[in-house]
Chain A
Amino acid sequence: MTTSLHRRHFFLGALGAALGCARRDLRAFLAPRVSIIRAPSYNHDLTGMIRRILCEHRVAVAGKRILLKPNLVEFNAQAPINTNPILVSAAVEAFRSLGAASITIAEGPGHRRMTLDMADAAGFFSSIPRFEDLFVDLNTDDVQRVTLAHPVSTLKELYLPNTVFDCDLLVSLPKMKTHHWAGATLAMKNLFGVVPGSVYGWPKNILHWAGIDESIVDLHRLFPKQFAIVDGIEAMEGNGPILGTSKHVGVIVAGAHPPSVDATCCQIMGIDPAKIRYLRLIEEISAWNWKKTVQTGESIATVRSPFALHPDLVRLRP
């Protein structure tokens, strides 16, 4: 009797432990994964790094139409305002080497109207072979009307460029920067650049009126197939996204779930993701929680480098 009970207990215990482990494994398996890769400078093998990231995340690239969306804001090639064109060039090479059917680079800057002159001054023409053939100015691309199904913002519809819908994978390539309104501008905020200036102007003020954080969420939800690769090699701290100062972090942060990528970047920047309103909004409308993100490669602790914050944003510290 005693022996039988012991056996039963042992068996049930073992079964419970196995189920527990399986649940943990399943949770870890289902949790969004974010890669943190050290990249000390733009002179390193960025193409190889991005290739490895894409393979690690099992991103389906072969035969797919890829749209790379960097952050191009200003003429200045020295200040860390724009996504570094060397990283964009590396992304082009990485996706090409993995068999992408086509690669388009597209952006619609939010302040200045002369996108191509800006891209030229910022080094995109010199860094990316055949840049002019690969590039689409989203501010002047042909548009279509898109109805927002369940908007968080006050937007009911948006006119958006055809190019952003003519792709199989939208790759957000933002610069890691502080932002005087949103707290941080990363993979999700980068999608403001898909809203066409030729319809809404420079800046795209309709998004401000509809609620910046809410608009970030609405734009994110319009594009279910995304991958994010954040340029955190030379980042921007202080009064970002334009007037801040350079901050060397030396990382690339990447993943298929932009909110998780952004939450990871925030932690690296010394910002509490729970205090970033657009991330909170995502939590409210989905089952996602930033704490469930699984980081691979470097740990957050080893690359954390708290950013100087504008006085209005010090409240975002953990």
Chain B
Amino acid sequence: MTDAEQLQAMLLSARNTDGGWPSRRGRSWTEPTALALLALQGEHVSNEVRAITASWLCQRQSRDGGWPPCAAVSTSTWVTSLALLALAQEREYSSGCPKGAQWLSSHVYPELSMFRGFLQRGFGIAPSQAPGSSPWFPGTAGWVIPTAFGILALSCWITRLQNAGFQQAIERAQTYLLSRRCADGGWNHGGSLQRSETSPSYAETTGLALVALATVPASSLGSTLRFAQTLLDHPDSTEGVCWLLMGLAAHGFPRPATPMSIKPKTTQDVALHLITLQTLGGRNPFLQPAL
């Protein structure tokens, strides 16, 4: 069995009877289910599995267009990005996606009002809801991970939906990401008021931000790409290694697929590992346009 076949078998064996996936055990959640579908789209799995999973995701979409993290939660959150990315390759199940993309773009924080801009320029008071950033949970501050996934989802749908507003939202979000780099050149969770600018970067956020900045020229990234390569020398998690490999590949620095030294422990780990193998094979599912 190849690595991909083993991972695929692991993924399929973790599926719940309702067609969705838990993170590890328990009920199905949107995030692991969307990542599992993204991973399986690049593998030879039956259309039935894909259809059941896509259907599971469709049924979880909220009336406001977004997706909640699980059935027990009524608020749409950042996982909307993942649902949009996963359903982008399932044309039969993507009728709700335009509304989902609208929900997502409306949760990219806008430019500052004149008064807030004055406060920031004059007194160095940085807003928590920074322009271009997106929150994990509506109404709270913007952070690196939900912002990066927002960029990927809007970029995925922009050609099909031909929405000029999406392009502006993507550019604002990319500007935000570039402004939240840590001193070492990478990214951590990304708060400025949270004193995290002096904290070290994380592998997973650095890699993910690099994927979300795939269209940004390497000259804008300075020492970041070199720094990302050094992070790979000390792998700390499956998620970290996968995102670093994908991030470097997105900027033309593919690293050979070496055996993963860390055992995948969650559905997200297994799915990301499969997606990384596909990326290193030449196709990153996070960077594909919607069908």
Q: Which residues of A contact B (CB under 8 A)?
A: 75, 111-114, 116-118, 121, 137, 140-145, 159, 180, 198-203, 205-206, 208-209, 239, 242-243
Contacts and interface: CB of A to CB of B under 8 A. Distances in A.
Given A117-B265, A142-B26, A144-B72, A201 B140 contact: yes
Contact of B194 (A114, A137, A144, A203): A203
Interface stretch (B39-47, B103-111, B218-226, B233-241): B233-241
Interface in B65-80: 69-70, 72-74, 77-78
A201 B236 contact: no
B143 A140 contact: no
A173 to B, nearest CB: 22
Contacts of A137: 23-24
Interface string B80-103: 000000000000000000000000
Interface residues of B, number: 41
B24 A140 contact: yes
Given A116-B266, A142-B26, A202 B239 contact: no
A142 B139 contact: no
For the residues of B in contact with A, the DSSP-based class is: loop
A200 B143 CA distance: 12
A201 B73 contact: no
Contact of B29 (A111, A140, A243): A140
Interface of B: 22-24, 26-27, 29, 31, 69-70, 72-74, 77-78, 135-137, 139-141, 143, 145-146, 188-189, 191, 194-195, 198-199, 202, 204, 236-240, 262, 265-266, 269
A112 B205 CA distance: 10
A205 B136 contact: yes
Contact of A198 (B69, B146, B262): B69
B239 A198 contact: no
Contacts of B145: 113, 201-202
B137 A198 contact: no
B208 to A, nearest CB: 11
